[in-house]
Amino acid sequence: MLYLTEKEQNIQHILTFNVTSGERVFYLDKPQYSIGRDPNNSLFVNAKGISRQHVTLIKKYTDNSHFSYIIIDGSLEGHKSKNGVLVNGEKIDQYELKHGDIIYFTRYVKAHYYIVEQTNREFASKSSPDLLSNSTVSYLSSLSKETQISQSAKQASTLVEIKNLASVVELSPIPIVEINYQGSITYFNPSANLKFPDLQKKQLKHPLLQGLINQKDYNNGSLVIREFDLVDQSFEQHIHYLAKEQLIRSYVFDITQRKKAENELKYRAFHDGLTGLPNRVFFDQHISLISKKSERHQKLFAILFFDIDSFKSINDTLGHNIGDKILQYFAQRLTSQIRKSDFVCRWGGDEFVVLLSEIENPEQAGKFSQRLLQTFEHPLQIEEHEIYLKCSIGISIYPHDGTEVEVLLKNADVALYRTKESGRNNYQFYNPEMGLEIRQNFTLENQLNQAIKNEELILYYQPQINTKTGRIYGLEALIRWKNPELGFIKPNKFIPIAEKTGLIVPIGEWVLETACQQNKKWQQMGLTPVKISVNLSTQQLQQPNLIEIVKNTLERVGLEPQWLELEVTESMLMKNISLANKTLQKLRGMGVYISMDDFGTGYSCINHLPKFPFTTLKVAQDCVQNLTENPETSAIVSATVALGNSLDLRVIAEGVENQKQLDILQKLDCLEIQGYLLSHPLNSDQATEFLTVYQEQNIFC
């Protein structure tokens, strides 16, 4: 290191401002200064026309022998001042200041730059030696010792120790690199050397410098921003093209953390947070490419919709934490079964979609589905729970089931719906008939919403008769729908739709109200009272206010509870045995009769019967239909009659259609029947006439 002579150590750089408020003097000795009207600037100049950061001064060291100050218009980040800056009357972007230069910030605000010798010997002895440039020596040579500085300047603090100071370029944590138009590196600061140790070795082959020379025709002061990656780091490079000096200067910012954050946000935008699978947004982009490729090369692909069976029950029973683990396991299982060319995504909830690309035939999708279903035959162990996982699958094939992505997705979903309707834990291919049925159901659903309001629903009544005495026990209320466009619609068509949409609740309440009103009307006509049977739905039985609804209906109509019988099925009870028992007990306590419908099918949990307040058992229609064909059914009916007698329950066989069935039932001591053999369901007028005739014959029970 070259040490300065005592004379050379006493050099001072001074900037004097001429503003409307007077003259201001600044001693320059730090690596960097920002000048502007923002109070946070190094040199605060509050005057009209001055930008928030008007100029930047940088202390420049060259070839390790001298220094000077560079003035730059605006900030290092490339933000120019509003009105620009002139030196000696010439507008500049950057300029190396010389003794005596005049800097114009506005028409009324200017500054003079001086390089002077400090004659204070006491100060000189305290100064620390450092490097000075040859240009600085030449400045001193041209500097008159008679140069006068304002009195305020003479009273200001003297130079601080120079030893611990260096230029902003040298101390900057931002790597700064400069090359000339020939591609030679003219400067790089310590940060650049630390961050890019192989820069000098690779020269223009280094990613930081690649391509810079090709753009040297940029206008003077042009700023170009680009990004580049180096190993596992990312950088943003601000490139200044200085045509006048034929230099290209780069400021390099490490944006690795920012890029990681951006990549994380991008990943989250295209992937499911729980399973890590691609989401619907990613799927939409991917299938668009596959569709175009398949069309171009005339290849098949399959879309498979997956739905985990009874997943809601798992969540409700075992909790969402277990449910989440099941979803993760299911995602892993799907991923393990597909090829590299295939695609799997989480569609939402417990639904997943698999895209099998470039398949040879539709059967390939079927084999995949079968193989996947077989993998779930063994139980899944999660914590202390052993879970048998099952799923339903719907499949559509391009281009057989559609050429548009939306159509293929819709058709796969339709096939999935049919699979779930058909018993679940299986797969089905889409066919056009499914779509027709879905559209029909959609139409029915819309029309069903208006059916009650438009008084399109009608109740029919089917008598229940004791064949030994010929007396009527009661009538069952059966709902019918007479649509003005479609005519009579069978209950097995619209009841499932009502249950699916929740319309079954208001429909059920309408049936209860209408049946009670009709029964009360018959009583008011003087007909002997009979019980009216009304079927409850699963959703009605689970309603917390069912008891209140029944009670209010009976009171509003004025019908005594003993003339109402509510029918429930075994499957309804099994949904929630405790709740069902509690509800039925309260209803029976009100005086309402309770009937077990369709007994002999489904669960047939005989051990539960004594716990419920049943008054009647109804032998299922399927059992009655098989009496003449299957002798074993007779044993079931006989056992049912015996069970009913032992529990003091009435037993009624429903669906009796011919004399042979009636003869067998009578031999089995099942004497009360209901069915077409004795009477079809009757509308209110027909039922009134039927009851009137029986009253005249005096054969009511």
585 compared with 444, residue with greater pLDDT: 585
From 55, 152, 51, select the one nearest 95 (Cα to Cα): 55
Show the tokens assigned to 144. 């008159």
Average pLDDT over residues 371-388: 87
CB atoms inside a 10 Å sphere around CB 126: 12
Beta strands of 485-530 (E only): which ranges? 487-489
From 685, 665, 673, 610, select the one nearest 643 (Cα to Cα): 610
Measured distance CA(224)–CA(250) in Å, rounded: 9
Beta strands of 204-290 (E only): which ranges? 222-230, 233-242, 247-254
User: Coil, helix or strand for 380?
Assistant: strand
Name the pLDDT band for 487 (thresholds 50, 70, 90): confident
Contacts 24+ apart (CB under 8 A), 494-498: 494/444, 494/448, 497/441, 497/444, 497/445, 497/448, 498/448
- Please give the pLDDT value at position 632: 80
184 pLDDT above the threshold of 60: yes
602 pLDDT above the threshold of 60: no
- Please give the pLDDT value at position 168: 52
- Residue 640, CB half-sphere, CA atoms under 13 Å: how many? 29
pTM for the whole structure: 0.53
**Segment 399-410, tens digit of pLDDT:** 999 999 999 999
Q: Look-up: residue for tokens 């999660």?
A: 382
Average pLDDT over residues 660-679: 89
N-term to C-term CA, the chain: 126
Measured distance CA(282)–CA(267) in Å, rounded: 10
561 pLDDT above the threshold of 90: yes
Residues 6+ apart with CB under 8 A from 583: 541, 546, 547
315 pLDDT above the threshold of 80: yes
**Segment 88-116, tens digit of pLDDT:** 989 999 999 988 899 999 888 899 998 87
Contact 423, 390 (CB under 8 A): no
- Residue 631, CB half-sphere, CA atoms under 13 Å: how many? 0
Contacts 24+ apart (CB under 8 A), 273-279: 274/324, 274/327, 274/328, 274/346, 275/327, 275/328, 275/331, 275/346, 276/331, 277/331, 277/335, 277/344, 277/345, 277/346, 277/352, 278/343, 278/344, 278/345, 278/346, 279/345, 279/346
Secondary structure element (H or E) that encloses residue 519, with its range: helix 504-524
Measured distance CA(387)–CA(588) in Å, rounded: 38
**Segment 223-246, tens digit of pLDDT:** 889 999 998 899 999 998 888 888
Residues 6+ apart with CB under 8 A from 136: 11, 66, 67, 68, 115
631 pLDDT above the threshold of 80: no
Contact 10, 162 (CB under 8 A): no
Measured distance CA(409)–CA(430) in Å, rounded: 11
Helix axes 577-590, 546-557, angle to 10 degrees: 20
Name the pLDDT band for 674 (thresholds 50, 70, 90): very high
- Please give the pLDDT value at position 121: 32
696 compared with 47, residue with greater pLDDT: 47
Average pLDDT over residues 11-36: 80
User: Coil, helix or strand for 601?
Assistant: strand
524 pLDDT above the threshold of 60: yes
382 pLDDT above the threshold of 70: yes
- Please give the pLDDT value at position 629: 79
- For 126, 185, 552, 618, 672, the CA distances from 655, given in Å and listed in that order, are 118, 100, 32, 10, 12
Distance of CA 677 to the CA centre of its chain: 58
**Segment 62-73, tens digit of pLDDT:** 555 567 899 999
- Please give the pLDDT value at position 636: 83
Name the pLDDT band for 600 (thresholds 50, 70, 90): confident
Average pLDDT over residues 281-307: 92
Average pLDDT over residues 499-515: 91
Contact 514, 506 (CB under 8 A): no
Name the pLDDT band for 128 (thresholds 50, 70, 90): very low
Show the tokens assigned to 570. 């075994």
Q: What b/e readout covers 605-628, taking b as 16+ CB neighbours within 10 angstroms? A: eeebbeebebbbbbbbbebbbbbe
- Please give the pLDDT value at position 56: 94
Average pLDDT over residues 10-22: 73
- DSSP 3-state helix, strand, coil percentages of the chain (rounded to 5)? 40, 30, 35
Measured distance CA(241)–CA(223) in Å, rounded: 7
Name the pLDDT band for 157 (thresholds 50, 70, 90): very low
Task: Please give the order of strands across the beta sheet that includes 176-180.
Answer: 185-188, 176-180, 247-254, 233-242, 222-230
What would the DSSP string read from start to end of 44-91? E---TT--TT-EEEEEEEETTTEEEEEEEES-TTS---SS--EETTEE
The mean pLDDT of the chain is 83
- Please give the pLDDT value at position 208: 93
Name the pLDDT band for 153 (thresholds 50, 70, 90): very low
β-bridge pairing 32-36 and 43-44: parallel
Helix axes 280-297, 405-421, angle to 10 degrees: 110
- Please give the pLDDT value at position 279: 94
